[in-house]
Each structure stands twice: as C-alpha cells, then as structure tokens.
Amino acid sequence: MSAATFNPFEMAQRQFDGVAKQLGLDQATCDLLRNPDREVHFNIPVRMDDGTYRVFRGFRCLHSDARGPAKGGIRFHPNETIDTIRALSMWMTWKTACVDIPLGGAKGGVICDPRELSLREQELICRGWIRQVWRLVGPVQDVPAPDVMTNGQHMIWMLDEYEKITGMKYPGFITGKPLGVGGSLGRTEATGYGVMYCVREALKALGIDAKNTTAAVQGFGNVSQFAIQKYTQMGGKVVALSCWDNSIKKPVTFIKKSGATYEELIGITDKFGTIDQAKAKALGYEIADGGAWLEQEVDILVPAAKEGELTGETISKIKPTVKIIAEGANGPTTPEADEVIKAKGIFLIPDFLCNAGGVTCSYFEQVQNNMNYYWPKEEVLEKLDAKMTVGFAGVYNMAQENKVYMRDAAYMVAIKRVADAVKLRGLV
C-alpha cells in the first residue's frame, strides 16, 4: 500500500482479519465486526459569507455499540473520505475496548477545510451536521467529540443545536466541550499526555531513562503539542518537529538539536497551527523538508499527524537509533511499514492504545456531566494515568505472553472484549 493507494478501511479490515483468524473467531462475529453497524451520508447546505451557497458532505459511521454507547470524534478535512471514517469508527471500537471503558466506536466527518472558512461558516456546518443526525446520536446512543481540525468551539455549537432541537439540556451529548459549559479539566491535554504515559511505560520496559532520550514528532495539533509538553517534563528532548505550513501548503521540519519546547513553539504558531519559519530561524531552528523528521538520529518517533504516513517506503529512511514508535495519530502506519518495524525489533505503541487518552478523558467528562460535579485537574489526570498504565500493561503482557507484535496484542485484547460483548448480547 503506497501513499497514493492508501485506503485506511482496507488496512483496518486487513489488521482485523489477521487477528480474528489468530483468535479463531467464528464467521458471523467476523462479518459483524469487520464492517460498521451503520453509516449515514448527508448534505449540509450553507449560505456562505459572500451570499453564495455551498453544499458540504457529512458522514457518521457507528461501528459497534456492543460495549456501550458509541463514541468518536468528528473530523473536518478537505480530503475526507467515507473509507477513512469507516476505518476510524472501527479503530474507536478497539480503542475504547483496549483501555476497557464502557463505550463503543463511531466516527464522523465533513468534507471541508476550516482553514478557509469563517467562524460563522464553520458554525453553520456544525449546526447543519446536527440537524442531519440528531435522531441517531445522543448521550446514550452515540457521543461525538473533537478530532482532526475540530475543537471545543465546534463541540459547543453542536451541543447548542442538539439542545435547541430536543428542548432539553444534555451536557453529556458531546465531549471535548470548553470549560464552564460541561468540559472537563485535562481534556485538552489528555491525548498528548496519554501518548507520553505510554512512552514512559515503554521506556520502563526497555530499561531506558527518559532523560537520556530524544524524539522527533510529526504534526503540531492538539495531540503532539501536549505530547511534546509532557515529554519535555519527563526530561526528554524533542529535536525535530514536522508541521503543516498553510502558507506554502506543505509540511516543513523544524530541527533544534538543543531541544524544542511546547511553549517556544506555540509562541510562534498562528491560529491555524502554522509555525512562523522566520521566527523559528531566529530562535535557532534549522528548517528542512516535511519528511526530514523521520530521518533524525533519535530514540523515539511520534507520528501524530494523520493516517498512512509511515509506509513501506518512508519507514526505510529511519535511523538505527530508533527504539520506540509511539502512534499519536490514528492509523499512521501501513501493514508494509509494520513488517519493517517488526523486523527491526522496534517497540511499537499502537495507535488505539497510544492515543486512547483523549477518549478516556471524554469518558471522564461524560461521568462528570452525568453527576453534574466536576473534578480538579489533578484528579482527572491521575485517573487518566491510571487507566492508560493499566491499558498499556494489558497489551504489553499479551505481547510478551504470546510473543506477538504490540499491534497484534492490542487487537487481541480489544477484539476479544468486543467479541465477548457481542456473544453475551446474543447478537451472533
């Protein structure tokens, strides 16, 4: 699967099929779990600021709600495809099962580029999305959240539309809300911190001190920003960061051997996440092409941008120094790249374990919404750390006991839990 032919849903099914066989799942359970339970495609007509009309295409896929209400984010992306959403909905099912939270898996999206839309236009897309799916989603059915290029502001517009239509207050309808309107402290940091709680556990397993390590990170969105913050707090050094530059419409790598920090980088980043190259140079960064992050002599690689980035081709460029790959993004590694990672004996922290901190904290947000009582940040992060650490241990032990690759071990843990739920319900 090269970057050009990369189909995330085919990849998700391929990964599933391999493990289903290993687990000896019966045909009906395989048929049920290798496709989403349902999907909706719809139009969102919007009157643009210049008075013209545009119709955006929206989606919601519910992969499985066998273990509880479905859960998963909504992506805004110009290259969004239904197959990406299908794959991501499936990975959400494995993610919630892997860290053992009582939720299922779903994902949604809209084909649009928020970087080119006004806030008003974005608000109308959010409200239009809800008007199309409000009967199918809800606090005890399917609970959306932020994802690629969506944030707390989008969530609160969606919540407001849902509450206007239903005439009730349902703070647990959606997660990733801003503070003060049902949001949870720690939710913004949760995914990135969760990635690093896993890295900490992996380093422990390998007997390496975080203080002696360096990392290269791809992406500078919500996940990687807080992963960088936590990693530097742990004593590690981020020496390279690859980030999308919206002015030249391609990614750029910022290299600083003495170590980049979240605070320094965020100080020179615009509201769309583009890092100012001139300011970066003035701060001692060297600028290289977008792929250069992968070719650094580092201990840890953190792909935290998007799916399909580590391919059979790009993975060949990594240096022998790399000991850990921590998948902050969903589906960043193709099966071909997996073979190379396996052969090199690199410690992989698979996506739906590694980035499960976001949905875990979303679950805590829902719990707090239901109680209408909110925990201090330390308590949220402590609970998050505990959940991630246990989740990591479950997968690591499975990998050790069965001598399997970490991704396969994560699939084994997750698929087994979902298959058991499906059986207990008597679905197949």
Site for ligand GLU in 164-203 (CB under 6 A): 175
CA distances from 166 to 37, 145, 169, 414 (A): 25, 19, 8, 34
Q: Does 332 bind ligand GLU (CB under 6 A)?
A: no
State how far the Cα of 395 lies from the Cα of 405, in Å rounded to an integer. 10
Question: In terms of Cα–Cα distance, which of 278, 292, 196, 190 is closest to 241?
Answer: 292
Residue for token pair 């990170």 = 217
Amino acid identity, residue 366? Answer: Q
Closest CB to ligand GLU among residues 94, 347: 94
Closest CB to ligand GLU among residues 151, 269: 151
Closest CB to ligand GLU among residues 139, 236: 139
Q: Does 86 bind ligand GLU (CB under 6 A)?
A: no
Q: Does 330 bind ligand GLU (CB under 6 A)?
A: yes
Amino acid identity, residue 115? Answer: R
Closest CB to ligand GLU among residues 147, 201: 147
Per-residue x/- mask for ligand GLU, residues 97 to 136, rule CB under 6 A? ----------------------------------------
Instruction: Output the smallest distance, CB 154 to ligand GLU, in A.
Output: 12
State how far the Cα of 154 lies from the Cα of 254, in Å rounded to an integer. 30
Side-chain half-sphere CA neighbours of 14 within 13 A: 13
Among 60, 63, 67, 71, binds ligand GLU (CB under 6 A): 71
Interface segment toward ligand GLU; rule CB under 6 A; list 1-9, 66-74, 236-244, 283-291:
66-74
Among 12, 145, 217, 255, binds ligand GLU (CB under 6 A): 145
Q: Are strands 105-111 and 70-77 parallel, antiparallel or unpaired?
A: parallel
Interface segment toward ligand GLU; rule CB under 6 A; list 57-65, 113-121, 295-303, 351-359:
351-359
Strand partners, 71: 143
Q: Is 425 exposed, middle or buried (0-12, 13-18, 19+ CB in 10 A)?
A: exposed
Q: Which two tokens stand for residue 180?
A: 């003060």
Closest CB to ligand GLU among residues 77, 95: 95
Q: Does 369 bind ligand GLU (CB under 6 A)?
A: no
CA distances from 93 to 88, 176, 359, 415 (A): 9, 18, 11, 9
CA distances from 35 to 93, 135, 374 (A): 11, 22, 37
Other beta carbons less than 10 A from residue 410's beta carbon: 33
Residues binding ligand GLU: what is the number (CB under 6 A)? 12
Q: Which two tokens stand for residue 85?
A: 């959403």
Among 362, 366, 368, 369, binds ligand GLU (CB under 6 A): 362
**Catalytic member of 71, 107, 177, 306:** 107
Catalytic residue list contains 107: yes
Among 37, 39, 121, 147, binds ligand GLU (CB under 6 A): 147
Q: Which residues make up the interface to ligand GLU (CB under 6 A)?
A: 71-73, 95, 145, 147, 175, 330, 355, 358-359, 362
Catalytic residues: 107
